[in-house]
Amino acid sequence: MIFENLTWPAGKVNPSGIKTKVYFIDKSFIKTWPKIVAAPLTAIDNVTLAGDFELVATKVWNELYTTQGKGKVDFEPIGEKDCKMFNNKGTFKFPDISNEAKSLAKSAINSNVVFLVPLPHETEKRYILLGDESYDLEVTIKGDSGDAPGSAKGITIEVIAPATTPLPNYTGALVTAAGSLDCDTGVFTPTV
């Protein structure tokens, strides 16, 4: 167990919510997973995955736009005494029911889709993983046309991801069709 002080300096900037781009991939496209170190010495090591995802050949992470102010991640404890762990959750809102959005709903509804979610922060890069090598995810996607001019419409994606770590950090590489993102530094290197 690792216990450290939780202090709060006066005037600290603390943005909420998630960024407008999240990433997703089917769990079956992941060959090897990063892991929490076996004997973490610090609080950050206790909740940060070490290493990179190794993906199946030709597979990459996909991007998903999510409307600002409509998405979030959270966690809650689950289980019985001596068997407690966490349900890591995410909600994302895409503002259209386009053919691509409906295709995502059809493809993801009975799949194990893993999500990587960037959080806004002033001084550090924070990427949160929704998904775990050992547990299946539950993905629910609902569509809505809106009911009046100017009303919200689109698809809402809700993810429940059981894990032993609440909202684990990911600091490795994220490979997309457009290039590679270093989640530790935030530096994106485009594909040549």
Domain definitions of the chain by residue range: 21-190
Query: What 8-state DSSP symbol labels residue 48?
Result: E
Q: How far apart are CA 51 and CA 189, in angstroms?
A: 18
pTM over 0.85: yes
* The two three-digit tokens of residue 38, written as one number: 């076996």
* pLDDT for residue 158: 97
* pLDDT for residue 106: 96
* pLDDT for residue 140: 95
CA-based torsion, 41, 42, 48, 51: positive or negative: negative
* pLDDT for residue 142: 96
Q: How far apart are CA 169 and CA 179, in angstroms?
A: 21
Q: Residue-wise pLDDT tens for the chain (192 aa)? A: 888 888 888 888 778 889 999 999 999 999 999 999 999 999 999 999 999 999 999 999 999 999 999 999 999 999 999 999 999 999 999 999 999 999 999 999 999 999 999 998 767 789 999 999 999 999 999 999 999 988 889 999 999 999 999 999 999 999 999 999 999 999 999 998
* pLDDT for residue 7: 83
Distances from the Cα of 190 to the Cα of 49, 58, 150, 180, 181, angstroms: 24, 16, 36, 6, 9
